[in-house]
Amino acid sequence: MMKSKADEEEYWNSSKFKAFTFDDEDDEFSRLKESKQAVNNIRRLVEEDDDEDDVEKVSWSGEPVGSISWSVRETAASNQKTDREPAFPKINTDTPTISKSNSGYSLSSLFKGKSRGSFQTFNDSLSDSSVRLYAPELRKPKSEYKDYVSDWSPEETVQRMQQGKVVSLEKFRSLQDKLLLLDIAVSAHDGNVITAVLIYLKRTLSKEVLFRELESRQIALRHFIHYLTETRDQRLLLELLRALCRTEDMALLQYKEHLSIADENKRRDFLKSCLSLPFSAEDSAHVQDHYTVLERQIIIEATDRQAERGGKVEIFQKFPRRASILNMPLITTLYYCSFYHYTEPEGTYSSPLNIRQTFKISEKQYFVTALAARAKLKAWSDVDALFTSRNWLGFTRKKSPLSFQRVVDILQKNSAPTQVLQDYVALVDDADVRISLAQKHKCHDIIINTYRDLKDRQMLLGYRGKVERGSVEERKIDELLNNPVRKKRRGHLHRLHHVT
C-alpha cells in the first residue's frame, strides 16, 4: 500500500532512522540538532536503567546536566584548562560520567540507528575499571617543582642522595661536571654516595679517563677498589692496578684466584705459575712455601690413603684419619706428621723434622706441636724424650723452650696420669706456683718435698691433716717431723739464739 506524502514526512521526522543527505556534513545547524537529539537519547537510556532516580541533575550554575548550553560550557572549559594552573578536579557525587572511549553509547551509533541491544549497558559502563573517582589534589608549592624537573646543583644532588631521595645523575654529562660531583661526594664523607657516583662514572666514562682521574683522588680510588673487590670484578680491578703501576697489588690479586680452584693438582700448578709474579720479598717467600707445602701434601695424602686402604699400618687402624691433609695450614701439616709419621727418618717428605727444617719452623712452635701430638697418642716416652737433653759431660737433664707450667697444662688436657704430671710439676721454678699446681693435680710428694725444702714445719703439720690416715704421704710427713737430725739442728739453732 502506497503511503501519502504526509505519512512519509511523519515517518522520517518521528522515526529514529533519518534520511541520509550529503549536505548534512557541512550543515552546522543540522549537526547541532543531531547533538541535542543524541543527548536526549542518552538521557532516556539512563532513565530506563535507573528508574528510582527521578531527581533532575543540574550543574553548579543551575543548568540541567546534558543540556546544549551545559555541553558548550564544558567544552570551552576543557579547552582553557591547558593555559591555567591545574585546579581541583570535579567530584561527581551522583552518577559517574561515562568515558567517551569506553562507553557503548556514541553519537554516530545513535545516528546510524543501531538497536539498544548492540550497545554496552549503562551498568556495565559504571563497572568499567577505567571509571574512577578522584579526590581533589592540592597544588604543591613552587619550591618543590625542582623535584620534577631534576634541576639540582651538584651540592643539592649529593645532599638528596644522603637523605635517601631519588636522584638522576644523567644531567651531569660533561667531564668537568662529573668530576665536580665526585669531589663534592668525597667532601661529604659518605661512602655510599661516593660509591654511587663512582658507579655512574664507571658507566659513562672510558676506563682510561676514569683511571687517570682516580689516580689523583686517593679516597675515591680506595672506594672504587673496594667496590670492584666486593662485586668480584677481577678483570677491571686488574686493569686498574696495572694502569696505576701497582704491580705487587696486582700480583696478590692474581694469587688470590687460587681460592676458587677446587682440584688440588690444578691449584698446585696455578701456584707454581704465580712464583714468577712481581711479589715483594716477603710475599714471594710465602707463595713459595704455599706451593711447596701443597706439593708435599699431595704426596703424603696419596701414600697415606693407600696405606689406610691396605690395612697393614697399625696406627691408621687404631686412629683412622678424620679428614684429608690437602690444603691444610703448615702447622696442621706438622701436627699430622707428628701424629702419624713421628718416627720416620728425616729424609722423607712426611718426617716432622724434615718439615721443621724445610719451612724453618721455630723450636718453640715445633716443640708445642709435637708435644700435643704425642700426648694425644699417650706416647709418654716420646714426650719425655722431647725434654731430655745431654750436656758435653754426658749428663741428662730436662729442658723446655716453654715454661713447665704450660707443659703441665698441655699434658693435663690430654689426660696424662698423675705420675707423668708429677715429674713436670716438680720442674716448675716458682715454689708458690709449684705448690698450687701440685694441689690442683694431687701431687702430694711435690707438696711435701717443697715444704721440706722450705723447712716449714707448720705447713707440714697442716698438710698432714689433709692426707689420708695411714697413707704413704702421712708416714713420709711423720718421718720428716720426727727426723733426729732435724731435731738436733733445731736444738743447736735454739742454743745459738740464747748465746747471742
pLDDT at position 356: 95
Question: 84 vs 213, which has greater pLDDT?
Answer: 213
> Long-range contacts of range 278-287, CB-CB < 8 Å, 24 or more positions apart?
278/247, 278/248, 278/250, 278/251, 279/248, 279/251, 279/252, 279/255, 280/248, 283/248, 283/251, 283/252, 287/255
Choice between 393 and 71, residue whose per-residue pLDDT is larger:
393
State the pLDDT at residue 454. Answer: 85
How large is the average pLDDT for residues 421-427? 91
Distance CA 267, CA 256 (A): 11
> Confidence class of residue 126 from pLDDT cuts 50, 70 and 90?
very low
- In the prediction, which pLDDT does 28 show? 54
When mean pLDDT is compared across 32-41, 248-257, 266-275, 377-386, the lowest value belongs to 32-41
Neighbours of 291 (CB within 10 A): 20
Residue 48 above 70 pLDDT? no
Q: Is 142 helix (H, G, I), strand (E, B) or coil?
A: helix
For residue 27, the model assigns a pLDDT of 53
Q: What angle do CA 439, 440, 442 make, to 5 degrees?
A: 60
**89-103, 340-354, 464-478: segment of lowest average pLDDT:** 89-103
Question: Any idea which of 111-120, 164-173, 190-199, 470-479 has the lowest mean pLDDT?
Answer: 111-120
Q: What are the residues whose beta carbons fall under 8 Å from the beta carbon of 397, sequence distance 6 or more?
A: 388, 389, 391
Instruction: Check residues 379 and 464 and name the one with the higher pLDDT.
Output: 379
**All residues at 6 or more sequence positions from 426 whose CB lies less than 8 Å from its CB, including other chains:** 434, 443, 446, 449
pLDDT at 38: 60
SS3 per-residue string spanning 378-443 = CCHHHHHHHHEEECCCCCEEECCCCCHHHHHHHHHHCCCCHHHHHHHHCCCCCHHHHHHHHHHCCC
Average pLDDT over residues 299-315: 91
pLDDT band at 90 (very low <50, low <70, confident <90, very high): very low
| Residue 165: pLDDT over 70 | yes
Q: Which residue has the higher pLDDT, 388 or 77?
A: 388
Q: Any idea which of 84-98, 229-243, 248-262 has the lowest mean pLDDT?
A: 84-98
b/e for 300-336, b at 16 or more Cβ within 10 A? Answer: bbeebeeebeeeeeebbeeeeeeeebebbebeebbbb
What is the helix, strand, coil percentage profile of the chain, to 5?
65, 0, 35
Q: What is the pTM of this model?
A: 0.59
* Residue 147, pLDDT score: 52
Chain position carrying cell 686493569: 239
Mean pLDDT of 317-333: 93
pLDDT in tens, 166-209: 888 988 999 999 999 999 999 999 999 999 999 999 999 999 99
Supply the pLDDT for residue 204.
94
Instruction: Map grid coordinates 716453654 to a residue.
Output: 402
Mean per-residue pLDDT for 81-99?
A: 44
Least confident of 174-183, 413-422, 423-432, 459-468: 459-468
**How much is the pLDDT for 310?**
87
What is the share, in percent, of the chain residues with pLDDT greater than 70?
66
- pLDDT confidence of residue 442: 86
Mean pLDDT of the chain: 77
Q: Does the pLDDT at position 490 exceed 60?
A: no
Residue 486 sits at the vertex; the CA angle it makes with 480 and 492, to the nearest 5 degrees, is 160
Q: Provide the pLDDT for residue 211.
A: 94
The domain locations on the chain are 12-124, 155-245
